[in-house]
Amino acid sequence: MKYSMHRIVLLFALFLIPAAGLSAQVVYDNNALTGSIVGGTTLTLSNLTVPAGNKTLLMVLVRNASLSSGVPFLPTSVTYNGQGLTRLQSSINNNSNQHIYYLLMGDLGTPVTAAVDVTYASAPGLQNAIAFSLKNVDQTTPLTNPGTVSFGNTATASPITVAGTPGDMAIDLIGAVGDTTNDIPPTFTPIVTQTQIATLTNNANGVRFSASRTLQTGLSAAMDWTIAFPFGSFGNGLHDSVNVKAASAPTAAGVTVAGRVALASGSGVPNAIVYLTAPDGPIRQTRTSSFGYFRFDDVAAGQTVVVSVQSKRGNFAPQVLSLADSITDLSFVAPGFE
């Protein structure tokens, strides 16, 4: 396969310039905070720090007991720094409940440190919560494709599939009740493609509650845990999941590339051919005016291009440009030619 000299120069240049303009992917802030209480109407996670950064999402995962078996029991509010979170999903198995809450925080110029408060109208018994934040999250539809499965005290696994797209992040939470007589919780081990975010073990109540994450590399992610229940376990297993949608990469707007081709004396070079070569697009070309000026409009921003000149009046070195904005003062000068 033959390549033009313009593309050979561009391909070489791309090895020298760091990649830019890649699609955003969801990033975990590595700041999980956990807490649990027995009795009481408010569970507080003090001093959760959400780092500075763009397109931030706060997630709070909750597990609590119901006052009556089979009857959902929801917090009256979940807040962070006084702001109310939105409930995405709740699930129930006998008298155990799990909930997913979230808060859109946008672009943060500085870190925020505040308390997470999970409040109930009356004390539900055991309460657990895991809070953490993520970056590069779509701020219009941050969470998609929620799912849930329940399991009993004989389960050894709990597979669930989370649909998404590359760059998204699948999040899951799993909880169950073990041997409450001897206060022995079940054990959960995430499969190798998942990274555990946090786990809570309530030995006094035989309960375990865990969460994990995995970056979406295709159109879905399989989430599963190896489960081991001690003898005499109660069960009440719940496995919930959700896809965290990555923010869209900025749309490449049209910019202008313009400049002048001249001799060392300063005289413009008329009728020179100027080429603009992009990585995957056609080679664009134009000719200079009588005073040596040229111009390309509607060039996609966020890419690396090569601009080169062909003229009998001199030899002009190609220039490699990273297009974040318009460039209108590009200069080509042929050394030694008058």
CATH of the domain at 310: 2.60.40.10
Per the structure, the count of domains in the chain is: 2
223 with 195, same domain: the answer is yes
- Of the candidates 192, 211, 244, which is a domain's last residue? 244
Question: How far apart, in whole angstroms, are the C-alpha atoms of residue 39 and residue 56?
Answer: 32
Q: What is the pLDDT of residue 323?
A: 87
Shared-domain flag, residues 161 and 267: no
Instruction: Let me know whether 166 and 267 are in one domain.
Output: no
pLDDT at position 250 is 60
277 & 255 share domain = yes
Tell me which residue range forms the domain holding 208: 27-244
- Please tell me whether residues 45 and 87 are part of one structural domain: yes
Q: Are residues 170 and 281 in the same domain?
A: no
Pairing of strands 254-263, 327-334: parallel
Query: How high is the pLDDT of residue 337?
Result: 55
State the Cα torsion 52-55-60-61 to the nearest 10°.
Answer: -130
- Which structure tokens are listed for 329? 């003062």
170 with 311, same domain: the answer is no
Positive or negative, the CA dihedral 324, 326, 328, 334 is positive
- My answer on whether 172 and 212 are in the same domain is yes
The angle subtended at Cα 109 by Cα 107 and Cα 111, nearest 5°, is: 100
End-to-end CA distance of the chain: 39
- Answer for the pair 181, 248: CB distance below 8 angstroms, yes or no: no
Q: What is the pLDDT of residue 303?
A: 86
Identify whether the C-beta of residue 45 lies closer than 8 Å to the C-beta of residue 33. Answer: yes
15's enclosing H/E stretch is helix 5-16
Name the domain boundary from 244, 276, 300. 244
Residuewise pLDDT in 10s, the chain (338 residues): 344 444 444 444 444 444 333 447 999 999 999 999 998 899 999 999 999 999 999 999 999 988 777 888 999 999 999 999 999 999 999 999 999 999 999 999 999 999 999 999 998 889 999 999 999 999 999 999 999 999 999 999 999 999 999 999 999 999 999 998 999 999 999 999 999 999 999 877 899 999 999 999 999 999 999 999 999 898 999 999 999 999 986 656 689 999 999 998 899 999 999 999 988 667 899 999 999 999 999 898 888 999 999 999 989 999 999 888 899 999 999 876 55
